[in-house]
Amino acid sequence: MNFNKQWIYDNNKVIAPVLAIIFSTLATLLAIYTVAEFIFVLVPAVTFFTFHYTKLYKMKLRLLGGLIVFIVVVFITAGLATNIIYHAEPTYQTQFYNSNGNQTGTVVLASVSPFAGTSSSYNFQIYIKPNGTFDYKSVSLNIQELGGKTTVVHYSQMANTTYPGNNTIRLTYTTSLANGIYQYNLTAQSNGSLHTPSINGPFNTSPFSYYTYVLPVYAIYYTILYEMVFLAGVFIARSLSRSRRYNPPQPPQAGDQKNN
Q: Give the model's pLDDT for residue 86.
A: 87
Burial (CB count within 10 angstroms: exposed 0-12, middle 13-18, buried 19+), residue 250: exposed
pLDDT tens for 235-248 read 888 887 777 666 65
Q: Alpha-carbon distance 139 to 107, whole Å?
A: 13
If pLDDT is split at 50, 70 and 90, which confidence band does 64 have?
very high
* Residue 143: pLDDT over 90: yes
List, for residues 158-214, the tens digit of each pLDDT value. 999 998 878 899 999 999 999 999 999 999 998 889 999 999 999 999 999 999 988
Amino acid at residue number 40:
F
Local confidence band at 252 (pLDDT 50, 70, 90 cut-offs): low
| CB count in 10 Å sphere of residue 258 | 5
Average pLDDT over the chain, rounded to whole?
89
237: left (phi over 0), alpha (psi -120 to 50) or beta: alpha
Q: Which amino acid is at 22?
A: I
Q: What is the pLDDT of residue 3?
A: 52
The domains found in the chain, sorted by start residue, are 2-85 (no CATH), 92-205 (2.60.40.10)
Tell me the mean pLDDT in the region 56-81.
92
pLDDT in tens, 208-232: 999 998 899 889 999 999 999 999 9
pLDDT at res. 72: 96
Alpha helices in the chain (DSSP H): 2-10, 12-32, 39-53, 59-85, 207-246
**pLDDT tens digits, 6-47:** 888 888 999 999 999 999 999 888 887 777 778 889 999 999
Nearest CA-CA partner of 114 in 106, 105, 123 = 123
